[in-house]
Amino acid sequence: MMNSLALLFTLLPTLLIIIEAGVFLYILAKHFQNMHQTRLLNVRMKKDAVVLPVRLHAYERVVLLLERITPSNLLLRVSGVGQTAADYHRVLLTEIRNEFNHNMSQQVYMSDQIWQQVKQTREEVVNLINKTYQEMPENARGNDLAKRILETILVEERDPTARAILAVKEEMREIF
């Protein structure tokens, strides 16, 4: 029994040191984990401070693209005066293509679904212009084409870009 008691008194300080070391290591590990999480949070906050304004600007630019290719706006901005319908048709399609190409990089900042809707809207506008042009007489003027495009929109009672603009705004509101 004396040997057991002597052994206990000999091992007890060692056990206490091991327990203290374990507690110290646990506290130290928790401290490092908290420091790591704090660093990650700081990095995320700095990234958001840079990325969020860029994303907001991308959404603004895509809405502007859609507004600029809205047929009524496009026809006001790009005049058909003094042009044949064929020349005006080419100018309108070139304008839409240039607007789209200028803003193509904005797709990086939005969902694939929204970008697909933007592309589909562009195609709808191009198809509207092509279809209307194909229905025009051969000797038609640019102003005649513009009037017929506007008449088609009024008869069909739909703005081909309105739905896409609304979708972009809704996604933007979800993020910001």
Report domain extents, the chain: 52-175
Segment 36-74, tens digit of pLDDT:
888 888 878 777 777 788 899 999 999 999 999 999 999
Segment 75-112, tens digit of pLDDT:
999 999 999 999 999 999 999 999 999 999 999 999 99
| pTM assigned to the model | 0.75
Task: Count Cβ neighbours within 10 Å for each residue of 90-127 and write b for 16 or more, e otherwise.
Answer: eebeeebeebbeebeebbebbeeebbebbeebbebbbe
Encoded amino acid at 36, one letter: H
> 62 with 168: CB under 8 angstroms?
yes
